[in-house]
Each structure stands twice: as C-alpha cells, then as structure tokens.
C-alpha cells in the first residue's frame, strides 16, 4: 500500500489530472488542466477545462487527446483558445477570440465571438478554414 500512488496503475483519480500541462500537436504550451468535465449520461470524460496564465479557462474535448502521461497531455491538433488572433483568407487581421461557443450535445464549436477594436461579432464555425498560429476565416471581415 505504500507505493500505491507512485505508479498510477490501472485507474487514475481526478486529482491526478489537475495541474498537468497541456501541449498541442506542435509542442506549444496550451496551459494546465484546471478541472475534468464528465458526461452526466455516460459517466465518461468529455473533456477538460484548461487555464493559461491570465486568460479565462477554456474547454478541450476528449477528441483532441492523443497521449496522457503523468506530467502532460498531448493533443492531436491545435485547439482554438481565447485571445487567438483571427485573420481573413487574404491575411488581413480581423480580431481576437473572446469566447468559444460549443454545442452542448457534441462539444463541437458552433460559433466564435471575436472582437476587433470596439466591435464584436459572432463567426459561425463553417467560416473557419484554418487553425495554426492564427485562425483563418473565409468571407467578409467586419473592419
């Protein structure tokens, strides 16, 4: 019983996840796990809430998970985070993400609320064409 927590073994408790660093597919730090989100119908993990320094916590769905170790969670792609920069397909700056709205049934992104100067606008997920260092959207900008 002494070494029970040294090797995590077959089952992990929720406390093992809190504070673990999260890295995207390029190795960039996305923050630390703040809490675990459980699906109330299936009792399985639906995702985690991640917090990065001074930004607001944001949700990462379990579909993004690639490898979970004792010290980190590696993702299979680059997630959209609050404060990510938005550009149009011509490379013109559109604004920054201030809120990510998810579908409550599927945990997929429905819309992004973005802000540029003094304006804010809702962008549907269908307009997102690329996610990397910046998020690229198609269609008219609102600048």
Q: Are residues 71 and 29 in the same domain?
A: yes
Residue 8 placed within a domain? no
**With 90 as the cut, is the pLDDT of residue 6 above it?**
no
Residue 33 placed within a domain? yes
Residue 23 placed within a domain? yes
d(CA 63, CA 56): 21
Residue 89 is part of which domain span? 85-137
CATH number, domain containing residue 50 = 2.30.30.240
Q: For 92-114, write each residue's pLDDT tens digit.
A: 988 999 988 888 777 788 999 99
**Res 107: pLDDT:** 77
Domain boundary among 27, 54, 75: 75
Residue 1: which pLDDT band, with cuts at 50, 70 and 90? very low
Q: Are residues 64 and 18 in the same domain?
A: yes
d(CA 19, CA 118): 35
What DSSP string runs through 16-63?
A: GTTT-EEE-TT--EEEEEEEEEE-TTT-SEEEEEEE-TTSPPEEEEGG
The length of the chain in residues reads: 143
Nearest to 36 by CA among 52, 20, 25, 24: 20
């Amino acid at each position: 019983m002494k070494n029970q927590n040294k090797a995590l073994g077959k089952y992990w408790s929720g406390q093992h996840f809190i504070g673990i660093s999260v890295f995207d597919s390029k190795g960039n730090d996305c923050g630390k796990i703040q809490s675990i989100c459980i699906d109330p119908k299936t009792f399985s993990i639906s995702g985690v809430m991640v917090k990065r320094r001074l930004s607001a916590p944001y949700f990462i769905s379990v579909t993004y998970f690639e490898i979970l170790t004792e010290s980190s969670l590696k993702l299979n792609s680059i997630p959209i985070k609050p404060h990510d920069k938005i550009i149009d397909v011509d490379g013109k700056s559109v604004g920054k993400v201030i809120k990510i709205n998810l579908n409550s049934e599927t945990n997929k992104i429905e819309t992004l609320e973005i802000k540029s100067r003094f304006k804010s606008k809702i962008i549907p997920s269908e307009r997102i064409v690329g996610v990397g260092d910046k998020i690229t959207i198609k269609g008219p900008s609102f600048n």
